Chain A
Amino acid sequence: MLQNEQEYIRILKNRLEGTLPAEDLEDLLSDYREHFRLGKADGRSEDELFCSLGSPEDVAKEIRATHLVKKAEHTCSCRNIFHAVVATLGLGLFNLVFVLVPFIILVVMLLVIFLVGVAFSLFGPAAFVYAILQLLGFPSFSIWLSPVAGIFLSVGITAVGFLLVIGDFYLARFFYRMGISYLKWNIQMITGTVHTE
């Protein structure tokens, strides 16, 4: 059980050190100190102020999640989105279903598309070589019903492979933006607050 304002601030600081930049953390803690000062000036007790703010652990989780989502929004990277998702998971157990599961599904889907694209991109040229060899009369390379058709089809397969890889990149970017929006909405729903930049 919290003893006083100093302990509240200390817990908040411990939880957020390393996540927020030092300057932003100090500003945040100053805001909370000011909140306590004004609350006490209005005649409210520390317990009342603790209840109105919520536990420092929960406050820190919310601030951390918001900050990491904002960071991921400004700087696109796999690491940032991963940190944002993990931070959001900490806001509630149900986020294991509503955040983690969709995230895993999307990652797996993008990975599968990428691997299929790479496979097509590699298979296409190999099949092209097989078609040429089949045309030259090497029976052990006879994979095509028609080697002439195989030449064109292998070019098409290679093109599809490249398209899948490129498309996967754009799909990842699209889902990244959608993911950020979803995480922000998720945080808003959980905390009941609207964060604006």
Chain B
Amino acid sequence: MEYSNDYRDGAYGMSADMPNDGKKYCIKGFLSGSGTTPTRIILWLVAIAIVSFAIGFGILAVSGGFSPGMAHPNSPFTHTAWIASNTTDFPLGGATSGNISVTMGAGEITLNGGARDNILMEATVFSKSPEWQPDFSSTLDNTTKTVRMTDKGHTGKAWFAVDSPNSWEIRLTDNVPVSLDVNIGAGDCQLNLGSVNLHNLNVHSGAGDTGIDLGRYRGGRFDATITKGIGDLTLKVPGSGNTRITVHQGVGDITGSGFTQNNGAYVTPGFNPALPVNEIAVKQGVGSVLLEMV
């Protein structure tokens, strides 16, 4: 058996005295026999890796998937990807309206509509420690169901608390009017309420960014109060609604594209005070306010 170190021949270091050594060259021999050299395979893999990562991270960059506020801003994974979660459901139980109160000390809250049928609220908690699970209480008073979700506070060891995520994802019913009260001490809060039928909305945020998306809102008239200490606020309202937004701000910019000014307030086009008005009052200490019409 000839000795050859030419890859194209598909044999390298083959020895008649040591036939077992040829086994590890089987893959190379097979590949050479099929017209594909190891070098070509490696080049293909490199090209595939580069193109795939370029497209993947390009999509994330263009779609705004990277959030500078995250602990790992360049990670393509959700920050709750590898954290065990638990979900608690609160059935409507025949109620025709709901009172929801969510109180968090520090962490992130994401709130959406679209809970399953006959469910008033679905609360999913992402947290590494069972000690940080919130307290739930639920009462039914005639036709109104009240649910309270309260953060007990991080009483675990300091080393465990450092950089440990505490994230709540909440879904509310779209079927009955809901009064919503969200309190968050420190952290980001994103409320996507376009499909929810609001009666009242109160948002209190100490420090952190808040996003409230009422785009495609088709529910009844509501009043909303948004009180923020420090952080940016993004508020999206439907242009077809009859909405008036008053802003009291300490330090920061206010941007309201598409709105018209009416006695210092921002109103949607075609605003008519004689009709039911969605009143939104914003009180912000420090930070920018971005009002968008969708």
Residues of A within 8 A of B (CB): 75-77, 142-146, 148-153, 155-156, 159-160, 162-163, 166-167
Whether B21 lies near A76 (C-beta < 8 A) is yes
- Is B81 interfacial (CB 8 A cutoff)? yes
Whether A148 lies near B46 (C-beta < 8 A) is no
Q: Cα distance A163–B77 when bound, in Å? A: 22
Question: Which residues of B, 44-84, contact A by the 8 Å Cβ criterion?
Answer: 45-46, 48-53, 55-57, 59-60, 63, 65-66, 75-78, 81-82
Look across to chain B and name the residue whose beta carbon is closest to the beta carbon of A141: B81
Rounded to whole Å, the gap between the CB of A158 and the closest CB of chain B is: 9
Interface string of B253-288 (1 = CB under 8 A from A): 000000000000000000000000000000000000
Whether B77 lies near A143 (C-beta < 8 A) is yes
Rounded to whole Å, the gap between the CB of B146 and the closest CB of chain A is: 26
Q: Cα distance A148–B38 when bound, in Å? A: 31
Whether B76 lies near A146 (C-beta < 8 A) is yes
For residue A144, which residues in chain B have a CB less than 8 angstroms away from its CB? 76-78, 81
Number of contacts between A and B (CB, 8 Å)? 75
Whether A163 lies near B65 (C-beta < 8 A) is no
Q: Cα distance A160–B56 when bound, in Å? A: 14
Interface string of B12-24 (1 = CB under 8 A from A): 0101001001000
17 A-B residue pairings within 8 Å (CB atoms): A142-B78, A143-B78, A143-B82, A144-B78, A145-B66, A145-B76, A146-B63, A149-B56, A149-B76, A150-B76, A152-B56, A152-B59, A153-B53, A159-B45, A159-B49, A159-B52, A162-B45
Whether B52 lies near A146 (C-beta < 8 A) is no
Which of B51, B55, B60, B81 makes the CB contact (< 8 A) with A143?
Answer: B81
For residue B51, which residues in chain A have a CB less than 8 angstroms away from its CB? 156
Whether B13 lies near A76 (C-beta < 8 A) is yes
Knowing A159-B52, A166-B45, say if A146 contacts B60 (CB, 8 Å): yes
Rounded to whole Å, the gap between the CB of A17 and the closest CB of chain B is: 21
Rounded to whole Å, the gap between the CB of A79 and the closest CB of chain B is: 11
- Is B42 interfacial (CB 8 A cutoff)? yes
Knowing A146-B65, A149-B76, say if A77 contacts B49 (CB, 8 Å): no
Whether B46 lies near A145 (C-beta < 8 A) is no
- Is B41 interfacial (CB 8 A cutoff)? yes
Q: Cα distance A150–B63 when bound, in Å? A: 13
Look across to chain A and name the residue whose beta carbon is closest to the beta carbon of B18: A75
Whether B56 lies near A163 (C-beta < 8 A) is no
Question: Which residues of B, 235-258, contact A by the 8 Å Cβ criterion?
Answer: none
Which of B13, B50, B57 makes the CB contact (< 8 A) with A149?
Answer: B57
Q: Cα distance A145–B57 when bound, in Å? A: 11
Whether A159 lies near B38 (C-beta < 8 A) is no
For residue A151, which residues in chain B have a CB less than 8 angstroms away from its CB? 56
Whether B49 lies near A160 (C-beta < 8 A) is yes
Interface residue total, chain B, C-beta cutoff 8 A: 29
Which of A75, A148, A153 makes the CB contact (< 8 A) with B15?
Answer: A75
Rounded to whole Å, the gap between the CB of A163 and the closest CB of chain B is: 5
Look across to chain B and name the residue whose beta carbon is closest to the beta carbon of A167: B42
Whether A145 lies near B65 (C-beta < 8 A) is yes
Look across to chain B and name the residue whose beta carbon is closest to the beta carbon of A152: B56
Rounded to whole Å, the gap between the CB of A179 and the closest CB of chain B is: 16
Whether A155 lies near B48 (C-beta < 8 A) is yes
For residue A150, which residues in chain B have a CB less than 8 angstroms away from its CB? 56, 76
Q: Which of A143, A146, A166 has the most CB of B within 10 A?
A: A146
Rounded to whole Å, the gap between the CB of B14 and the closest CB of chain A is: 11
Q: Cα distance A75–B14 when bound, in Å? A: 9
Whether A142 lies near B81 (C-beta < 8 A) is yes
For residue B66, which residues in chain A have a CB less than 8 angstroms away from its CB? 145
Rounded to whole Å, the gap between the CB of B16 and the closest CB of chain A is: 12
Whether B48 lies near A159 (C-beta < 8 A) is yes
For residue B42, which residues in chain A have a CB less than 8 angstroms away from its CB? 163, 166-167
Rounded to whole Å, the gap between the CB of A84 and the closest CB of chain B is: 16
For residue B63, which residues in chain A have a CB less than 8 angstroms away from its CB? 146, 149
Whether A153 lies near B65 (C-beta < 8 A) is no
Whether A153 lies near B56 (C-beta < 8 A) is yes
Interface string of B84-126 (1 = CB under 8 A from A): 0000000000000000000000000000000000000000000
For residue B57, which residues in chain A have a CB less than 8 angstroms away from its CB? 149, 153
Q: Which of B21, B38, B52 has the most CB of A within 10 A?
A: B52
